[in-house]
Structure 1
Amino acid sequence: MPIAEGVSFDLTVIWAFIIAFAVLVYVVLDGFDLGLGMLFAAEPKGQDRDLMMNSVAPVWDGNETWLVLGGGGLFAAFPLAYALILPALYAPIMAMLLALIFRGVAFEFRWRTTRWRRVWDLAFIGGSAVAALAQGITLGGLLQGIQIDKAARQYSGGWWDWLTPFTLMVGVAVMVGYMLLGATWLVMKTEGPLQSRMRHRAWGLGIGTVVFMGIVSLWTPFLQDGYYSRWFGGWNIVLAGFVGAAVLALAFGMFRTLMVKHHDYWPFLFALGMFVLGFAGLGFSMFPYIVPVQITIWEAAAPRNSQVFMLVGAAVLVPIILAYTAYSYWVFRGKMNPDEGYH
């Protein structure tokens, strides 16, 4: 089924971009947080673990705001898509939410006990890993397509349709990518031996991320006819080549700055750029479908009056959320001092 053409920018398109933006910001902000949690397993020293957690302590609990905005926006602006996607991906979505809750509890409780700290550290590692894996599986399940009954407007697939080699591969890819963000975040926020180890780990994780991005990029067009025609139809193949070259250029910049001792911020920024380009590529593959490649955003959209009403609220809330998020990161900028905090 070919991707629809002749798209006009209307309220439905605006809401699609708002939800995509919320999901992207969540991936960017919570990605390094979850990656840091998984890297916990490689740092057995208590002092290093404390330093790692302190680097995200001021900002971590605000990241899920964007996840709520994305999920709530999907429910309000595209109720049909919500009703079709949730039953198909119920298991990985619930696993993600439970892991995030368990991880948040572990984050708080590990500071309040000495005897059980290792248990809560394991909970923090496990919650981070399960949440990242579940997010990747959810993405893979959506990309590979959802079996629906369009006449009855309901999900018609099975309970385990989300579990395929492709979804598992995307799940592992997200885990590796998040750990790359976590490693480069710690390169930016720490000094000394911990920073040196993270520079070393970022190399392997960076190579793994580039490889997985290549595999996903080559596999995805063959999942649905609409993906193939979007990327390889006409001049779009030139765009595909440009995106691939841009990702490789960002990866080169990241590896280059990882070798320069005083370029602590650039590896993280280059890694974020790779994620943004990858996300944009996925969006280009799917648009204008919200349930690939069967339900468009217009078919799934809420009534126009509802979209207008919600857009007024979003126009007020989104800038406020962006402002206080930016302010919190600005206040807690700079390196972590193991003895004093930020400096």
Structure 2
Amino acid sequence: MAGLPGAEQGSGHEVLFERRGHLGVVTLNRPKAVNALNAGMVAAMLDQLTAWAADDGVATILVQGAGERGLCAGGDIVAIYRDILAGGTQTAAFWQDEYSLNSLIAGYPKPYVAFMDGLVLGGGVGISAHGSLRVVTERTRTGMPETTIGFVPDVGGTWLLAKSPGEGGTHAALTGAHLSGADALFLGLADHYVPSENLSALAVALESETAEAAVVRFSQPAPPSELESQRSWIDPCYASNDAEEILRRLRTLDGDTGGEAAAATIEAKSPTAVKVTLESLRRANGLTLDEALAQEYRVGLRCLAGPDFREGIRAQVVDKDRTPRWKPATLAEVRAADVERFFAPLGDLELNLQPKETDHV
């Protein structure tokens, strides 16, 4: 979607804010980067959403992305890579704001409508899937691909995927698979399916109608979820808490199920990230979102200090040779004690979520 005329501007025009009727519109405005989030955009959204929560003239929030490629391809990992080389201090501050924003969205006192059209990855999931009315389309390609770059799902992704039916969330997290809109509905990452050609009309309706009524009016039945159709082998294979056992089970399946392909995909990821992701998902069970965000922050800071996150970004985005050299190179070499260290308390460096000033609204 194109940027909005007459919009208020934030973060060097990289995120736009506009009031239309009783609708507050947030438009991520970095279309050439598929609206990847940077620190300025996150800070601007946090401030504006906090202000709109207390504004009686705003009844509903809409979040969308500029351009035709997607809502948001995630965090700006090139910026993170440069910061890692410089010590990682700016990324830690960015995550403090980003996770505060995720928490604010999850508890937002007004309907929060997210157009999850096109690419919605990583940090894009964080600003959409915690909302109250999450809309996918036939163009949606969503997921948490962090293991591909030696990282672990964050922005509350471990919490969301841990709550998904069966072991679908475990499969999605370990493989980093891109998921369709129907898959997102199945996993609980979205609520409604609207053809992309109807999003503009839905946005107009949100200016004057109640959010729930408008979204329901434009919603249509979603096509079948391919991921849901694979539960017969996904659930038993991924039920183990041991990554090597999951691979063994996947490789014992009949060749036409997709088990061998899933195993090969997981085996190409960072072994450390795979094991820490699996442990993160298991530990997220029973946590609140804020507790899961605090856990993800601990894990994230340890990833910043380790070799695989930097190497994964280098291989996928900087040099683009697609041949990361993981350390350790195999799952067997990643010991339980190595995984445990990612979850150790941070002391004074623990996540400090910004207080939410929305309870009185």
State the TM-score, normalizing by the size of structure 2.
0.26
Query: Which structure has more RCO (C-alpha within 8 Å, separation ≥ 6)?
Result: 1
